Amino acid sequence: MSQGMNTLFERLPSVPVPMDRLRGFQSQLGIDQEDFVRMDHLSDAFLPEKERFAQRVFDHFHGIPATRVVLDHGPSHERMIRIWSHWYESFFQNRNQDAFLVAQWRSGLNHVAAGIDHRYISLGYAMARKFIHETAFAKLDPEPCSAAIDLMDRLLDLCLLVETDAFITSLTKCDMEIIRGIAHQVRNPLMVIGGNVLRLRKQLPADDPRHEVYETMLLEANRLERMVRNVNTYNEVFQREPRPNTCDLDSAIKAALAELLPQERVRIEIRLDPHHPNVLADPEDLRVILYHLIQNSLENAADASTPEVRISSAPSETNGDFLDLHIFNNGPTPDPDSLESLFTPFYSTKALGTGFGLPIARLAVRKNHGHLTLRSQPEEGTTCLVTLPM
């Protein structure tokens, strides 16, 4: 909760300040530059209380065993008092709204660097709100007091919202970097293993029974390599900010099919609504969505005696501003009770599946303000229903 903590930690997570998103939070709370001017006018009444505020915060957290450990092994008590006092002072004296947003964002990064439980951060803001209310009731007349409290509550909401966004973004970035690093380290040994197995298999006589063993090893190595690739795709979709654009659905579907190169024995039928040819989505996300969903349907259909995949679209039955895309396959139908499990990473009903195709697709659909479900039709097949904005 402190701007002044910038000097306490030399190394902060390398996360750029997302100014557009932060300004969006500010706008949604109805805060403008005039509100910062009003806060500056309130400073005469509130600033004399900054030392009392800082001491109250320190005493409260020093009374909690979990946070006492942090305070006793961090900067001096006097330093922490100055930090909280500075935060309180800057809350009332911010004449530049962008600087205010940047300060709150850096505050969140500092809390990650310090390893502070975010529940205590929220508690700190709750204490600040209570203290500021008490001060307002004690120092302001009733009529201006109500308007001042409303303004200060909105600014405190903005502080917590921006700080929390920075906290989550930073932690997520750290987690994603760890996962990406693990995936990279796994890929290299897999390539070595696969190459050596191929070399050994070439040295065997044609009728050697070890061919089957080596083939199984190669299949599993390829499965792990696909899983590593899918983990990286999941991370990329998770971290990428969608840039919605008008996308021609027919072209996107044909591009996905060209990338997948389906077997000739799989019959593919495409029937799209000619009156609604476009969806609003990030083009790369749409490519990922269609690739994984069509791939899933082709793999399932391949187990049928006469494999078939049907892709169709129509205006959404529930919202006229959205388009429903149906991707049907006539392969074996999953147990209706296990449909949601199919969206769990690493869960797969296929022997060589990675369990990532559907989770990747759902994540990309949700980031583009859509919805993705599976519908099991016993003795007929399975329909994947994607709903995206038109």
Say if CB 231 and CB 181 are below 8 A apart: no
For residues 86 and 103, what is the distance between their CA atoms, to the nearest angstrom? 12
What's the N-to-C CA distance of the chain in angstroms?
42
pLDDT by position in tens, the chain (length 390): 444 334 333 344 467 888 988 999 999 999 998 888 888 888 899 999 999 999 999 999 999 988 888 788 877 888 889 989 998 988 888 778 888 898 888 888 888 777 788 899 999 999 999 999 999 999 999 888 999 999 999 999 999 999 988 888 877 776 667 666 777 777 778 788 888 888 888 888 888 888 888 888 888 888 778 777 777 787 788 778 889 999 999 999 999 999 988 878 889 999 999 999 999 999 999 999 999 999 989 988 887 889 999 999 999 988 889 999 999 999 888 777 777 777 776 666 665 566 678 888 999 999 999 999 998 888 788 999 999 999
- Judged by DSSP in three states, 39 sits in helix
> What is 150-180 written as a DSSP string?
HHHHHHHHHHHHHHHHHHHHHHHHHHHHHHH
Which domains are seen in the chain, by residue range?
3-175 (1.10.490.10), 245-389 (3.30.565.10)
**Integer angstrom CA distances of residue 106 from 14, 35, 63, 287, 314:** 11, 22, 26, 35, 46
* 20 CB burial (10 A radius; 0-12, 13-18, 19+): exposed
Backbone angles phi, psi at 321, to 5 degrees: -90, 0
Residue type, 363: L
For residues 98 and 325, what is the distance between their CA atoms, to the nearest angstrom? 42
Which spans in 29-117 are helix H?
33-46, 50-62, 65-72, 77-92, 97-114
For residues 112 and 175, what is the distance between their CA atoms, to the nearest angstrom? 12
